[in-house]
Amino acid sequence: MSVRDGDREVELSFWPNLAIGTSHTHPAWFNVLDRILMGLTAAASLVAVIALGVIATLMATGVWYRYVIDEPLLWTDTIVLWSFIWMIFVGASVPLSSSMHFAVEALVVGLDSRIQRTVALVGNILSLIFCVIVTKEGAWLTAQNLRQLDPALGLPFAIPYASVPIGFALMSLVLLRHCLALVFNFNKASS
């Protein structure tokens, strides 16, 4: 996004436009990667919307049963919590795919565009490393909780834990795509 400052355009963000599907000048393999990530992001968005619907419905139902009927449902709080966990971890890849996560830009705004791209690449690589580690550890933690059951539902605790490796794997794929776009300068036409 840019604004006018007198007679010149000033870019409000130094981050290159890395949003998925923003340019048609990519090589064929990159367009395939974009299409796959667009589908995965749409699925993640759908999971987040469904989870939000479940949260709203079950919270209202829980309040109704607890305060109006005076017979609280014990299982609604657990499903609301699990839905919230899935919404957060899986839904986090959606704004990341559009480069909409928060960033502190104060130190790099005045730098040369090549240095800005380098800083963006280093930030994305570090984020990618973090996401891969959390994916690996989250998968291990999920496997460890396959036999532990929730007392209210009788379902394995692996269900909410699985949102961590799935969500971070999605973010890893998006960050890998961002890194490739920066390395090969595929975002030129979309800036």
User: Looking at per-residue confidence, does 14 or 68 come out higher?
Assistant: 68
Cβ-Cβ contacts under 8 Å for 182 (sequence gap 6 or more): 16, 18, 117, 120, 121, 124
Identify the band that residue 15 occupies on the pLDDT scale cut at 50, 70 and 90: very low
Identify the band that residue 29 occupies on the pLDDT scale cut at 50, 70 and 90: confident
User: Looking at per-residue confidence, does 181 or 164 come out higher?
Assistant: 164
- Specify the DSSP element, H or E, that contains 35: helix 28-63
Specify the length of the chain in residues: 191
- In which residue are the tokens 């609604």 written? 76
Give pLDDT tens digits for 41-50. Answer: 999 999 999 9
The confidence score (pLDDT) of residue 76 equals: 92
d(CA 182, CA 188): 9
Residue 101 has pLDDT above 90, yes or no: no
Q: What's the pTM?
A: 0.81
- In which residue are the tokens 């605790």 written? 157
Rounded to an integer, the average pLDDT of 155-164 is 95
- Specify the DSSP element, H or E, that contains 10: strand 8-11
d(CA 75, CA 80): 9
Identify the band that residue 143 occupies on the pLDDT scale cut at 50, 70 and 90: very high
* Token reading at 109: 């705004």
Residue 59 has pLDDT above 70, yes or no: yes
The confidence score (pLDDT) of residue 190 equals: 40
Rounded to an integer, the average pLDDT of 6-23 is 51
- In which residue are the tokens 């990667």 written? 33
Give pLDDT tens digits for 74-86. Answer: 899 999 999 999 9
Report the mean per-residue pLDDT for the chain: 84
d(CA 151, CA 157): 10
CA distances from 120 to 16, 48, 62, 125 (A): 8, 27, 45, 9
Rounded to an integer, the average pLDDT of 85-100 is 90
